[in-house]
Amino acid sequence: MLKLFLHPVRCFLPFVCLVYISSFLCGGEYSSKTGIDMYDIGDSLNAFSDIPDSFKNITQKHYPLIITFQKFLVMLDGSLGNSFFDKFDDGELSLKRTGVSRSFALQTLIRKKEVTYPRFLSSYWPHFNTQLTKKLDSSVVFTEIISHLKGDITSNVPFDSWLDREAYVGLSERRASSLNCDAREIIYDIFLAYEKTKRRNREFDMSDLVCDLHRRARVYGRNAILLKLLPGVLISDLKI
């Protein structure tokens, strides 16, 4: 079984329980070296450094596989040809091609290069045109960029692309929309500035990774991986 958690702490707790139970059944003692003291549970990848970054290297001993959604994406990335993260690498990943050392190097790269909301708020938002941002909430804008402009699976555009201005502004006609046309026009201008700055900084967000995975899945073939995973996938914490 593969179980995905969107929240790293909620993922880590059942993992610790499994380690404890396995140790007890085998007649051993529970050690902090395999317990909570070994991990920083605030980091969604550190706790899984002993799990390969590719589904191709998963063996029976890794099951039941309890991981975060971020780790799941990293493992998909490692299973579909050339890694998405290579284009952001300054040489550290290429020197550590396999194993735990590469996994830690990848964690470091993600921490440095991923645009999360806190980074968006501190490093991007203050530099946008204040005439655009003064009437908008930064969290709303970031959510629109990640979840709708670059991640709207209900749209007719390819999922490895993003909505054009006309399509995005047209979303205001949906019954559930809380943003009018004028607000969406402004958000789209901010989005273009965000993408330009992100490219200049050689950074990425989660939607960039997901879009790249969709593109490579078409190129390298996705059936083998999906057929292996889908029967036992369980996603938890959907409200997180």
Residue 227's pLDDT is 41
- 52: confidence class by pLDDT, cuts 50, 70, 90: confident
- 98: confidence class by pLDDT, cuts 50, 70, 90: low
The length of the chain in residues reads 240
Least trusted range by pLDDT, from 15-24, 91-100, 175-184? 15-24
Give Cβ neighbours of residue 68 (< 8 Å, ≥ 6 apart): 4, 5, 6, 7, 8, 11, 44, 45, 48
Residue 100's pLDDT is 63
Mean pLDDT of 76-85: 86
DSSP class per residue in 86-148: GGG-SSHHHH--SHHHHHHHHHHHHHHHB--HHHIIIIIGGGS-HHHHTTS-HHHHHHHIIII
Say yes or no to pLDDT of 123 above 80. Answer: yes
Tens-place pLDDT, residues 172-229: 887 677 899 999 999 999 999 999 999 999 999 998 998 888 888 877 665 545 544 5
Mean pLDDT of 98-110: 77
Radius of gyration of the chain measured on its C-alpha atoms? 20
- 235: confidence class by pLDDT, cuts 50, 70, 90: very low
Residue 66's pLDDT is 76
Residue 185's pLDDT is 97
Beta bridge partners of 66: 3
Residue 15's pLDDT is 47
Least trusted range by pLDDT, from 26-40, 43-57, 133-147? 26-40
Separation between Cα atoms, residue 192 and residue 189, nearest integer Å? 5
Largest CA distance in the chain: 66
Mean pLDDT of 98-115: 81
Q: How many percent of the chain have pLDDT more than 90?
A: 29
Q: How many percent of the chain have pLDDT more than 70?
A: 62
| Domain locations along the chain | 2-113+212-236, 117-201
Residue 214's pLDDT is 83
Comparing 32 with 92, which gets the higher pLDDT?
92
Separation between Cα atoms, residue 102 and residue 53, nearest integer Å? 9
Separation between Cα atoms, residue 210 and residue 150, nearest integer Å? 9
Task: Tell me the pLDDT of the chain averaged across its residues.
Answer: 74
Residue 194's pLDDT is 98
